[in-house]
Amino acid sequence: MESLEPLKTISSLVYLIGYRCTGKSTTGQLLATLMGFDFLDTDRVIEARFKTSLKEMIHQRGWEYFREKEKQVLLDTGHLSNTIVATGGGIVLDPENRKFIQTHGFCAWLYADGTTIVNRLLADENTCESRPRFSQDCLTLETQKTLALRTPLYRELSQIKIDTTTHSPPEAASMIKRRISHVR
């Protein structure tokens, strides 16, 4: 009797990574609807779990404390299935986080050019509360420096990359769904 090898499938977890204002939350919600999955935004989970805004948490406890809580929330996703997870932009800074994402699901990197990101940050009235600054540099310089640090990490981790400068959130969601369908 011939033995059948199990089909190789990806996890039913999809992680969206990328810098601030690249469309992870919006695209993630659309993708969840397209796929009939749940949606989770790690930043919103942190705010709900600890009953504070990210700005207030970081102001009171610092970035290191926030990164610890972010890691806890990420690790908690390991037991989930059929879920789209929009991550915070800096989640890739921790090598253990990158390894966890790599081994637990499909990873899509949403990116945009620096000018587009800065314009989106300035246009979003929630930026101050939900996206605390990293430095005293002007927003453009801060964005350039942070992208220079994180872009290689995003690139290395992702299985698909989508330029949200030119692709809308519905287009990005459709592209990710098509890619996942081909991987399964």
Per-residue model confidence (pLDDT) at position 11? 54
Ordered by start, the domain boundaries in the chain are 13-179
Q: For 13-179, CATH number?
A: 3.40.50.300
What gap in Å lies between CA 6 and CA 11, rounded to an integer? 14
- Encoded amino acid at 49, one letter: R
- Encoded amino acid at 88, one letter: G
Per-residue model confidence (pLDDT) at position 129? 55
The torsion region of residue 138 among left (phi > 0), alpha (psi -120 to 50) and beta comes to beta
At residue 172 the predicted structure's pLDDT band, cuts being 50, 70 and 90, is very high
What gap in Å lies between CA 109 and CA 55, rounded to an integer? 24
- Whether 2 shows a pLDDT value over 90: the answer reads no
Single pTM value for the model: 0.89
For 99, how many CA atoms within 13 A lie in the half-sphere containing its CB? Answer: 3
